[in-house]
Amino acid sequence: MGSFAHGKSSSTTIFLVCISVFTALDHLCTLHIRVAAKSNVYIVYMGQKPHDNEELLVKAHHGVLASVLGSQEGSVDSLVYSYKYGFSGFAAKLTMAQAQMISELPSVVEVIPNRLHKIQTTRSWDYLQLSPRFPNSLLRKSRMGSGAIIGVLDTGIWPESEVFCDEGLGPVPSRWKGICESGELFSPAKACSRKLIGARYFVKGLEAAYGHPLNNSKFQDYWSPRDRSGHGTHVSSVASGFFVPNVSYHGLAVGTVRGGAPHSRIAMYKVCWQVNGGVCADIDILKAIDQAIYDGVDVLSLSLGPSFPSYSDVDMRNGIAIGAFHAVAKGIVVVGAAGNSGPAAYSVSNIEPWLLTVAASSVDRSFLVAITLGNNWTTMGQGMFSGKLTKFHNLVYPEVSDLDDERACESLSLNDTWAAGNVVLCFASDDFNDDTHNTSSSVKKVGGLGLIVAKNPTKAVEPFINNFPCVQISLDTGMQILNYIRSTRNPQVKIGASTTRVGQPLSTTVAYFSSRGPNSVAPAILKPDIAAPGVAILAAVPPSDPKDRNSYAFISGTSMATPHVSAIVALLKTLHSHWSPAAIKSAIVTTAWSSDPYGAVIFAEGQPMMSARPFDFGGGIVNPNKAVDPGLVYDMGMADYIQYFCAKGYNNSAISGITKRSISCPKRRPSILDINVPSITIPSLTHPVSLTRTVTNVGAINSSYKAAIEAPPGITIAVKPRILKFNHKMKSIPFTVTISSNHRVTTGYCFGSLTWLDGVHSVRIPVSVRTNI
């Protein structure tokens, strides 16, 4: 179903799209649900607010509806939401003909049909060196995020969890306008506190799409901000949870669970529901962002994103993008997940330049398991379970004849009764989409004693059912074990219990599932922007028994990486409240680790595993203690975003509709290469090109920076001027970068960097260039 764009060609519309919650193993599935035989729910987007009188805006929205429906009564019945805080628009039940009529009104930018979509830490903060033990850390300087408010759009929250206690917190910030809504098993007086200061739920869009209230007997969720799935509780815990000591998962990863900004406040906006496996409605998400703008959040943490492939960013079918744009215009930093479609190239989501897009990386922790064969040869694998096989047991492999296909792990089922009483070795056919949970479940149900899975190694090891011994090993180790089985009359194996190992020599990797660049819509805008821990993150979840208070689980995904960065943004906002969202994004990107905190190479999991590149992790791994004092920032404001719109081909009326400014793009389209993002990406270098950037001094007033160039192989880079001198009058300085290629053939991307140095700061941006002959 398409959108109705008044006065615009399909190549110059603006955005709203499909939504999924990003966890590592779930898959997106779009649902197309009609409200009634002749009506659907539509979003009527009217752009930037013309004024701040919300009452008049709502009347205007009803007026638009009444002009088409014929009566005020009809408009009241039709209206689902009014968007009135961050921007102007509404959601309503309309026939296609009525939607077409509304789209032709001069005050309307676009009309889009509502869509429904299925939803997809004890160590990480120490790994990032964000510890209260260090007096000069960002955590201590920011008073642990005291006063910052993190808004989370997700599946709700379990407020009784100990991580959400308000111990040591002062009064709720006076600027806060939000509320806690009551609902099923959710009493604001008991659930909300000085920690959880806001909790709302948005379900009207979902109900309107179904055309009737949801059936409580089939509704596998709480009709309130309370979380059932655990995703929202986990995300909130990572971002803002308070200190809870001596937490573990069945004895693994023992330590103190906490969020990155433990003294910050949380506002939960529940927009995803456990219907048909989990559904989020576009219009609910957009309304939640609009409400959060009014409530007064400092940061919006969205572990949500559009499906891959993304809509063009001149196509207005992405609710996150358009809502985030208006939030950023109000000074709110919006942090979004890169997605879990990796390691495929061009799979990254949340690709707009105003978003801070986060990839997932590992931490310096693994869960090692000793495997001892009957010949006393011992090797190490990875697994999460507390059980062990103290005695030797038979080790088997599903051999087949030469005429049959090999039996991969995924093919094992309840019919494989030969596995009873044995430990099974198998090889995964798809290293990045193996179904180890179902395989181990089948082996266990037929009486198997354990499972050894050979695959390309990854750090994303998840807990297995009922502590059933399930071990992941590399392919070469798997071949050694297979050779032992084939050469031994009675092969035996003993599997030890999982043990936690922390620190060196464990390398950091970008997770295989983390979506990769280049940006499929605007290749000259680097995405993702940054990487943060998102593999096997231990945090709070709802208990299986509602009578319990606390429960903790490991979850992997860019959903878990996103709140790490949201927390760091909250800490930075506490210290630098006057910095724009773009300045904070720049500070995070330009100070990131390009090697891990121990100085070792960062690898990107894939086939094969390779050293990480900007398309894997943007600027690198987030380095919070450096981000607090970046020296220089690549700042952006509304004028820069308008330049971006012009460069991408929006027409003047479309841009004016978004911004409510009179816009006239230059006849000669601006170059997207000149957008002041903290990176340089040239997707097709056919001849020497010059581009501009501007840096703003946020360090010492009198300072001098010198350019250091690490040119990509076969590429020449010249910077003018090479030295930037700042003083009390000269706070921002533009510079020109000229890039040319020495290659005589078309190449793939080559990578380098441009760094500004003053002896104290190192302001680094990645450079990515592809030569096209």
Residue tagged active-site, from 231, 393, 564, 576: 231
CB 550 within 8 A of CB 161: yes
| Torsion 88-94-100-104 (CA) sign | negative
Q: Which amino acid, 585?
A: K
Partners of 715 in beta bridges = 741
CB 69 within 8 A of CB 154: no
Report the phi/psi class of residue 251: left, alpha or beta, with left for phi > 0 and alpha for psi in -120 to 50: left
Q: Please list the helix, strand and coil fractions of the chain in percent, rounded to the nearest 5, in that order.
A: 25, 30, 50
Alpha-carbon span 748 to 164, nearest angstrom: 48
Q: Which amino acid, 42?
A: Y
Give catalytic status of residue 559 as yes or no. yes
Alpha-carbon span 369 to 497, nearest angstrom: 6
Q: Which amino acid, 501?
A: R
| Torsion 604-607-608-613 (CA) sign | negative
Q: From the CA atom positions of the chain, what is the Rg in Å? A: 27
Q: Give the end-to-end CA distance of the chain in Å, rounded to a whole number.
A: 39
Alpha-carbon span 327 to 769, nearest angstrom: 32
- 343 cis-preceded (ω within 30 degrees of 0): yes
Close Cβ partners of 357 (under 8 Å, ≥ 6 residues apart): 336, 337, 338, 348, 349, 350, 351, 527, 528, 529, 530, 618
The sheet with strand 723-726 has its strands ordered as: 680-685, 762-771, 749-757, 703-710, 723-726
Q: Which amino acid, 659?
A: T
Residue tagged active-site, from 301, 559, 566, 656: 559
Q: What are 275's two structure tokens?
A: 């219907």
| Torsion 730-734-737-738 (CA) sign | negative
Give catalytic status of residue 684 as yes or no. no
Cα three-residue angle 711-716-720, rounded to 5 degrees: 95
The string of DSSP codes covering 362-407 is: --SEEEEEEEEETTS-EEEEE-B-S----S-EEEE-----TTS---
Give catalytic status of residue 154 as yes or no. yes
SS (H, E, C) 445-486: HCCCCEEEEECCCCCCCCECHHHCCEEEECHHHHHHHHHHHH
CB 658 within 8 A of CB 641: no
Alpha-carbon span 65 to 59, nearest angstrom: 10
Q: How far is CA 404 from CA 346, 398, 401, 439, 484, in A?
A: 36, 12, 5, 20, 22
Residue tagged active-site, from 26, 126, 154, 529: 154
Beta strand segments in 541-581, E: 552-555
Q: What are 64's two structure tokens?
A: 């638009």
Q: What are 76's two structure tokens?
A: 């009241």
Q: What are 7's two structure tokens?
A: 């006065």
Alpha-carbon span 161 to 143, nearest angstrom: 23
The enclosing H or E element of 72 equals: helix 72-78
Q: How far from chain centre, in Å, is Cα 724?
A: 35
Q: What are 368's two structure tokens?
A: 């090692």
CB 702 within 8 A of CB 654: no
Residues annotated as part of the active site: 154, 231, 559
